C-alpha cells in the first residue's frame, strides 16, 4: 500500500502578511474552505494509500495535528524537524519512519509538499497510478508539470524519449534538470514541448531513496539515520534529536539525489497545478470576477481590474487599481503591483532585521488549546481575547511580573486560582494576583471566550512559569 509523505515545512514569506513564520501558507485556507495542508491530504482519497506520514516544523505541530483531526485523519507519524535542512533530509526522515512502520517491507512513498494547488485531482491520481510500476522496478519518479506559459520562476526538467507508455500518460527518462531560466530560454522550452516544470513531487520506494542518498550524499544519509534512531516519542509526535540533526547538511532532493542518480524518471502531469509561490500565483489559482479581480472578505472595488484584494478585519476599498495586490490583516497591510510581489520577501527580511514580531506572528496567536488576540496594549497593561476550545485546558502557570483579570464573555470556565477551583459563567469575572498559580479550562461543549486584562512591569510570554501542561510544553 502506498504511503503518502506530506512535507509541511517552509515559511511562505512571499505570501506575507497572511503567511508568517509561525503560521505559514500551508496552514491557511487560500483557495477554498480547506487549508492547503487539508487539501493535500484530501486529494489522496481514492488512491490505495495509508494514512500519511507528515514532516513539519516543531513549532507547527499542534496546528498540523488539529487540521488533520478536523478531517478525521490520524497520521501514521508526525515527524518534527528541530530546524529545516531542505527537502532531501526531510524526505529521508519520512522514509525511515515509513520503513519502521512497514516492518520488513520496502514501502512505496509518495512525497507531496503541503502548499500546492491541484485542481484536477483525477488527473493527479492517474499520474500516481502510471508511476507505480516504475517505482516497483526501483525507479525514482518525479512529476513534471506540463507548462502553460514561459514561467521563469520554476526549474525545468527536459524529458527524454518515452520509456514505458506513450504520450503524456507515459514515464520518461530525464535528459537533464535546468535551473530557473531567462524569459527567452523559457519561451524556447515551451515551444519545444520537451520541457516540464519541476513540481517538487516524487514517488519511490523508501529504501531505494535511502540507498541512493547513501551513495550520493553519505554524510547526509548518516546524519538522518542517526537523528531518526535517537528520536523520541512526544505525545503523538516523533521528535528528531536536534544535536544529531544539526550535523546534517542542507540540500534539496534535486541536488542531492535526483540530478545524480541514473534511475530518475519523470511522469508529465497536466492537472491545474500551482505552488502558490507569490500573490500573483495565488491570484491565478483563484476564480476571478468579470473584471479579473479576486476578492476575499469585506472588499469593495470600483474601476479596478486584475487585482487580488483581501480583507481580514475591516473594509478594504479600491478605486482605479490595475494589477495590484492589497492584503489587509489585523496588524499589517500590503500594497504592491503584481509584477513586484516576488520582492515581498525583502520586506520580511527588513522586519526581521528591525526585530519586529510581524514577520513570525499574527496578532492572533494560535496555541494547542485555542488562540489569543492582543486587542489593545499600552504602558504596563495589555488586553487579550482568549478562545479556548471545548475540552481544552491552559497550563497550570504563574507570573512573577503581572496580574490578570478575566471576564467570561461566552461559555463556561473552570478556574484554578491557588488552592481554589471554581466555575465562571458568562458576565462573571475573577482576579489573579502576581505570583499565584492559575489555570483556565473549558469543561463545556462550546468555545469559551474570555477577555483578559494584564497589568504589570513585564507582559511578554517569555516569563511564564509552567507547573503542568497537557501538551508537553516547558
Q: Give per-residue pLDDT as tens, 241-276.
A: 999 999 999 999 999 999 999 999 999 999 999 999
CB contact set of 21 (below 8 Å; sequence gap of 6+): 11, 59, 359, 360, 361
Dump pLDDT digits (tens) for 74-91. Answer: 999 999 999 999 999 999
Are the beta carbons of 331 and 358 closer than 8 angstroms?
Answer: yes
Query: Roughly how many angstroms between the first and final C-alpha of the chain, as a whole number?
Result: 38
Segments of the chain assigned to CATH 2.60.120.10? 364-468
Backbone angles phi, psi at 355, to 5 degrees: 75, 25
* Per-residue model confidence (pLDDT) at position 162: 67
* Per-residue model confidence (pLDDT) at position 474: 66
Cα angle 417-418-419, degrees, rounded to a multiple of 5: 105
Are the beta carbons of 46 and 84 closer than 8 angstroms?
Answer: no
* Per-residue model confidence (pLDDT) at position 472: 82
Q: Which residues pair with 336 in a beta bridge?
A: 325
The candidate with the shortest Cα–Cα distance to 230, out of 212, 247, 249, is: 247
Segments of the chain assigned to CATH 3.90.550.10? 3-274
Dump pLDDT digits (tens) for 319-352. Answer: 999 999 999 999 999 999 999 999 999 999 999 9
pLDDT at 146 over 70: yes
CATH 2.60.120.10: does it fit domain 364-468? yes
Dump pLDDT digits (tens) for 99-135. Answer: 999 877 899 999 999 999 999 999 999 999 999 999 9
pLDDT at 153 over 90: no
Are the beta carbons of 240 and 227 closer than 8 angstroms?
Answer: yes
CATH level 2 (architecture), domain 3-274: Alpha-Beta Complex (3.90)
Amino acid at each position: 500500500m502506498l504511503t503518502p509523505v506530506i512535507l509541511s515545512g517552509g515559511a511562505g514569506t512571499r505570501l506575507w502578511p497572511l503567511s508568517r513564520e509561525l503560521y505559514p501558507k500551508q496552514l491557511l485556507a487560500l483557495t477554498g474552505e480547506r487549508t492547503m495542508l487539508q487539501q493535500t491530504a484530501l486529494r489522496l482519497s481514492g488512491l490505495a494509500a495509508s494514512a500519511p506520514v507528515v514532516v513539519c516544523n516543531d513549532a507547527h505541530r499542534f496546528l498540523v495535528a488539529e487540521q488533520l483531526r478536523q478531517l478525521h485523519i490520524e497520521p501514521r507519524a508526525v515527524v518534527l524537524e528541530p530546524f529545516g535542512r531542505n527537502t532531501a533530509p526531510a524526505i529521508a526522515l519520512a522514509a525511515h519512519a515509513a520503513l519502521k512502520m512497514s516492518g520488513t517491507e520496502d514501502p512505496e512513498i509518495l512525497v507531496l509538499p503541503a502548499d500546492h494547488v491541484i485542481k484536477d485531482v483525477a488527473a493527479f491520481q492517474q499520474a500516481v497510478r502510471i508511476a507505480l510500476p516504475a517505482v516497483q522496478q526501483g525507479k525514482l519518479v518525479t512529476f513534471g508539470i506540463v507548462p502553460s506559459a514561459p514561467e521563469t520562476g520554476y526549474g525545468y526538467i527536459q524529458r527524454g524519449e518515452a520509456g514505458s507508455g506513450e504520450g503524456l500518460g507515459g514515464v520518461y527518462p530525464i535528459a537533464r534538470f535546468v535551473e530557473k531560466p531567462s524569459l527567452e530560454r523559457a519561451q524556447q522550452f515551451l515551444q519545444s514541448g520537451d520541457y516540464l516544470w519541476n513540481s517538487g513531487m516524487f514517488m519511490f520506494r523508501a529504501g531505494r531513496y535511502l540507498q541512493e542518498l547513501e551513495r550520493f550524499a553519505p554524510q547526509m544519509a548518516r546524519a538522518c539515520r542517526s537523528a531518526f534512531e535517537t528520536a523520541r516519542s512526544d505525545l503523538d509526535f516523533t521528535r528528531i534529536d536536534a544535536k544529531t540533526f544539526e550535523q546534517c547538511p542542507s540540500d534539496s532532493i534535486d541536488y542531492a539525489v535526483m540530478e545524480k542518480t541514473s534511475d530518475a524518471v519523470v511522469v508529465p502531469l497536466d492537472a491545474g497545478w500551482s505552488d502558490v509561490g507569490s500573490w500573483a500565483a495565488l491570484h491565478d489559482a483563484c476564480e476571478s470576477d468579470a473584471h479579473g479581480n479576486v476578492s476575499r472578505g469585506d472588499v469593495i472595488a470600483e474601476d479596478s481590474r486584475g487585482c487580488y484584494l483581501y480583507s481580514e478585519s475591516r473594509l478594504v476599498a479600491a478605486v482605479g487599481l490595475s494589477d495590484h495586490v492589497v492584503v489587509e490583516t489585523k496588524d499589517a497591510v500590503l500594497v504592491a503591483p503584481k509584477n513586484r510581489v516576488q520582492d515581498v520577501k525583502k520586506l520580511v527580511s527588513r522586519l526581521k532585521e528591525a526585530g519586529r514580531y510581524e514577520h513570525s506572528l499574527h496578532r492572533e496567536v494560535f496555541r494547542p488549546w485555542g488562540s489569543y488576540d492582543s486587542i489593545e496594549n499600552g504602558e504596563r497593561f495589555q488586553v487579550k481575547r482568549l478562545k479556548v476550545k471545548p475540552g481544552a485546558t491552559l497550563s497550570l502557570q504563574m507570573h512573577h511580573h503581572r496580574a490578570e483579570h478575566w471576564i467570561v464573555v461566552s461559555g463556561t470556565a473552570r478556574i484554578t486560582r491557588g488552592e481554589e477551583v471554581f466555575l465562571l459563567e458568562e458576565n462573571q469575572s475573577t482576579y489573579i494576583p502576581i505570583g499565584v498559580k492559575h489555570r483556565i479550562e473549558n469543561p463545556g461543549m462550546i468555545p469559551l471566550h474570555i477577555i483578559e486584562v494584564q497589568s504589570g512591569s513585564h507582559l511578554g510570554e517569555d516569563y511564564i512559569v509552567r507547573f503542568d501542561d497537557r501538551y508537553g510544553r516547558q
